[in-house]
């Protein structure tokens, strides 16, 4: 069988809360395909029943994706059509499906998007934080040291940063953000989007932290955290670090130059290193 006789793989978004956000095209697609690959079949069964969708389901989650993708590929090659859904929102966005899509495309089989809800895009569209350039960073590491290191690496990025975060870690993450990005930098907490307790709050990080710390309800439910990008104004400290690095870099390896520059200016070694890498690329 050639790819032209093969079926199609539809990547279908499901609601992130409000069931009215399920598009008619998504419902129609899920009704006509031969099989639906779902992250958690028990969870999806309830949604599908609600919309009268009786298509057979098969699980595809992070632990069986590799092996399941091969089987799904065989079915596509045999001419069947398959839809991929996740527990909520758009598959592949902090959800399984990348391996399947990549494998299916490698066989020149058509992959068709059926777009809809996505928590990060919904949050960005209402945050009031710049939306022209942004990077989606997924979930931060759960352990504090790794999380802080990742945030430090993002500190000077000038585009909006978007994170998914568990409500259990929200307060700790906000504390780290206020410390690393500075209390004045604005953040937006977008919680329980499209649901009854939807909350979208944009404030300087110190205020956002205080507000969340003082209200246990803000530490519940699903949330997206957005952080405004760094301003492009270079601070006096950064200017000094740049000056010292530009003297040291022609003479020393990057790591050594960064360590000495950090010692001289009293700045962080990691920031000195990141800046040294940037200066070297110029
Ligand atoms: N694929 C989904 C999407 O398109 O957004 C995301 C899946 S990811 C495993 C789940 C995370 O998305 C949650 O922990 C939360 O950070 C975010 N999320 C999902 N639904 C949300 C909602 N209704 N409000 C706020 N954040 C949400």
Average pLDDT over residues 57-79: 97
Q: Say yes or no: CB of residue 16 within 6 Å of ligand 1.
A: yes
At 2, is the pLDDT very low, low, confident or very high (cuts 50, 70, 90)? Answer: low
| 236 C-alpha to ligand 1 centroid (Å) | 39
**Tens digit of each residue's pLDDT (9 = 90 or more) over 127-144:** 999 999 999 999 999 999
**Do 210 and 158 fall into the same domain?**
yes
* Mean pLDDT rounded to a whole number for the chain: 95
Number of domains within the chain:
3
| 240 C-alpha to ligand 1 centroid (Å) | 41
- Measured distance CA(187)–CA(89) in Å, rounded: 23
Q: What is the pTM of this model?
A: 0.85
**Do 126 and 112 fall into the same domain?**
no
Average pLDDT over residues 226-243: 86
Q: Say yes or no: CB of residue 96 within 6 Å of ligand 1.
A: no
Closest CA to 199 of 17, 14, 15, 13: 17
First to last CA, the chain: 52
**Do 104 and 160 fall into the same domain?**
no
Q: Domain span at residue 175?
A: 120-227
Task: From 227, 246, 263, give the residue that closes a domain.
Answer: 227
Q: What's the pLDDT at 3?
A: 61
List the CATH number of the domain containing 40: 3.40.1010.10
List the CATH number of the domain containing 130: 3.30.950.10
Probe target for ligand 1 pocket from 11, 119, 168, 223, with the most ligand atoms within 8 Å of CB: 119
**Do 87 and 127 fall into the same domain?**
no
**Do 64 and 79 fall into the same domain?**
yes
At 281, is the pLDDT very low, low, confident or very high (cuts 50, 70, 90)? Answer: confident
**Do 58 and 131 fall into the same domain?**
no
Probe target for ligand 1 pocket from 11, 17, 47, 88, with the most ligand atoms within 8 Å of CB: 88
């Amino acid at each position: 069988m050639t790819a032209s006789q093969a079926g199609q793989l539809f990547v279908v978004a499901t609601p992130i809360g409000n069931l009215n956000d399920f598009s008619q095209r998504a419902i129609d697609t899920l009704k006509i395909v031969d099989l639906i690959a779902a992250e958690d079949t028990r969870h999806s069964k309830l949604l599908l029943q609600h919309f009268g969708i009786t298509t057979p389901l098969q699980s595809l989650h992070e632990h069986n994706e590799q092996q399941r993708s091969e089987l799904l590929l065989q079915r596509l090659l045999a001419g069947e059509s398959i839809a991929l859904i996740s527990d909520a929102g758009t598959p592949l966005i902090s959800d399984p499906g990348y391996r399947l899509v990549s494998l299916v495309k490698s066989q020149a089989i058509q992959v068709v998007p059926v777009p809809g809800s996505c928590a990060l895009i919904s949050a960005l569209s209402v945050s009031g934080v710049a939306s022209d350039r942004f990077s989606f960073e997924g979930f931060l590491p759960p352990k504090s040291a790794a999380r802080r290191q990742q945030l430090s690496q993002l500190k000077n990025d000038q585009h909006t940063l978007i994170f998914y975060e568990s409500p259990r870690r929200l307060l700790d993450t906000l504390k780290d953000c206020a410390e690393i990005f500075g209390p004045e930098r604005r953040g937006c907490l977008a919680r329980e989007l499209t649901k009854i307790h939807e909350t979208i709050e944009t404030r300087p990080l110190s205020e956002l932290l205080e507000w969340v710390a003082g209200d246990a309800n803000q530490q519940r439910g699903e949330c997206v955290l957005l952080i405004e990008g760094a301003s492009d104004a270079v601070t006096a400290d950064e200017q000094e670090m740049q000056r010292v690095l530009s003297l040291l870099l022609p003479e020393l390896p990057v790591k050594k130059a960064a360590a000495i520059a950090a010692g001289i200016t009293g700045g962080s070694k990691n920031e000195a290193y990141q800046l040294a890498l940037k200066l070297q690329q110029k």
